[in-house]
Structure formats: structure tokens, C-alpha cells
Structure 1
Amino acid sequence: MATIADLDGLTDLVERPPAGGELFLRWSQGPAVDLAENPGGSSRDTLTGIALPGLSANPLTVERWWGARSRRLWAARRLYDYRHLHKPGVRPWVLLGEACGRGPDNEPLVRCRRPLAWVSDTALAQAQTLVEEQPAAAWGPLDRAGSRPPRGAA
């Protein structure tokens, strides 16, 4: 599978997606693992262990409400918000697919039609730099574990 070398490469893909589905970003060990048991892919809810009917992924398609804002910033934000998933053996990759449901965190569950490309560490670093240069101090990863109240708290 090809690798998207930098944030500009991801932006180009977002601006000119291939036909045949929508673009999604998935963080995992990759399509060889994700598609091994099921041709369209399936995920597992880590809290309950329940098998989900598609891959947990995030859309790369620019939402209408984003308007004429920077597509590069859109792509950067998609990488930045889930960078906490970057662990040994886990990398972001782009796939062409279709939504088939919602996961336990309300994320799209996706049937993979075609894996497209890995996303490089250079693109991740560029995304982080671009997002952190923005004036809004409230942007950050979706760190649910850090914001969870202690057990027994009301």
C-alpha cells in the first residue's frame, strides 16, 4: 500500500477523492489485519468486546458547514483529534468505503471497499504543528480517559 508522504498529499486526496465511496481515516494495525476475517472489515468495542459490523473510522469528506475554509486545516484536524491512538503497531491509513452504522462513541462504522494509503509520521507532525498554530486554545484530542470523573463521583 502506498504512503501519503505529507499533509499536502492528504489534502490533495481530500480535495480530489477517488470515485466509488467516501474517504475515511482509520487508526489500526492496517488493512491486512482489519480485513483478514471479514472482507469489508469489522471492529471490536474495547470496553465490552462486542464485534461491530464495520471498521471504526472517521470521515475525511469535508462537511458542508466547513464552507470555503482551508482543506489542509480540515485534514490536519482529522489527524490531530485522534493522534492519541498512535501507538506501537498502530498507524493511520485512508480507505474508500461506505458507512454501515455507528459505533459506541457515535463514530461511523465503515465497510471498506478499498484501502488507499498509509499516512506518514511527517504528515502527523505537520498536522499537529498546523492545529497548534491556530488561535483557539480549546482544540485537543478526544481524551476521554483524562476527562472521566473518578468512580463513585456523581
Structure 2
Amino acid sequence: MSADRPAGLEEVPELHSLDEIVQLQRTVGQVYLRYSRGPAVDAGETSTDKESGCVLPGLSTNPITPEPWWDRPPQQWVARQLCQYEHLLGGDQVGWLLTGREVGRGPDCEPLLADTTPLAAIGPECVEEARWVYREAFEPGRG
């Protein structure tokens, strides 16, 4: 594990492939993705809607667990979720997986979580693989 990982992610594994993320989700159940400065910074905090300034009742996340109607490989769902907000990565922002209690929905219908537990860090290889899968499997902007 990398010594330069954000506080709160030192004790969890770093995942390096979409298959590892899918396996974690199958083992744990409901898993969420968050891009932030890490669990230690987020501890006891909630998200704020940037447009309205409203304080949300939990942390904004994206579901990694595919919906029941999803009829494609779970790796494609994970890739899509990783790519949707990957613009938030960089600087001191990292991707990490977590569980928690859903306490509502944010303005983009994203799950808001409280009582969170970090599960894993997202390695850069995951993001690269997600970009490739996303380009191959989807047609962004169609519709």
C-alpha cells in the first residue's frame, strides 16, 4: 500500500482492476464510489449542493452496485460510474469505495450516505481501464 494515500485509506486495499471492484461489490453488497480528499477529511461531514448552497444530509456518492434492470456485464456499470465524475479526480482528490446508510438523494439523484465505512482505494489502473471500457461499450451523448 502506498504511504502517500490520504488519511483513512491507509488500512484498506487499493484496487487495480474493474474485476476487483466487482468482486468486492459481490462480497459486500451495496457499495458506493466517492471522489474526495478521503475518508478522514469526510468523517463527520456532509456534502453541500454547489448550485443552491444547501447542506445535504450525507455525503454524495455514486452506486457501484448495478441496478436489477442492468443486463450488461457489471464491469461496464462500474466503468460508467467511475467515468461519470472522474473530472473530480486530481490534486488532492481521490476515488474510494465505501458503504454506509442511505439518508436521502442529492440534487442529481445521487445517494447520500451517513455512517460511512471505507472499503478500498481506487488505483489509477482502475480509472484507465474504466475509460477504455466506457469508450468501447457506450455512446456518450447519444439520445
Map 1:51-90 → 2, pairs under 5 A? 51-67=55-71, 69-90=72-93
Q: 1: CA distance between counterparts of 2:27 and 2:85?
A: 21
TM-score by length of 1: 0.77
Q: Percent identity?
A: 38
SS of match in other structure, 2:27 = coil
- For the pair 1:46 / 2:57, whether they are aligned, the reply is no
Q: 1: CA distance between counterparts of 2:95 and 2:35?
A: 4
Moved runs in structure 1, 4+ residues, more than 3 A?
Answer: none
SS of match in other structure, 2:125 = helix
Corresponding residue of 1:147: none
RMSD in angstroms over aligned alpha carbons?
1.8
Unaligned regions of 5+ residues in structure 2, if any? Answer: 1-8
Deviates more, 1:25-34 or 1:58-67: 58-67
Q: 2: CA distance between counterparts of 1:59 and 1:74?
A: 9
Unaligned regions of 5+ residues in structure 1, if any? Answer: 141-154
Number of positions where the alignment pairs a residue of Structure 1 with one of Structure 2: 131
Q: CA deviation at 1:139?
A: 5.2
Q: 2: CA distance between counterparts of 1:52 and 1:8?
A: 32
Q: CA deviation at 1:110?
A: 0.9
Aligned equivalent of 2:140, options 134, 138, 141: 138
Aligned equivalent of 1:104, options 93, 104, 107: 107
Corresponding residue of 1:29: 37
TM-score by length of 2: 0.82
- Code of the aligned partner of 1:126: E
SS of match in other structure, 2:31 = strand
Q: CA deviation at 1:101?
A: 0.6
Q: 2: CA distance between counterparts of 1:5 and 1:76?
A: 13
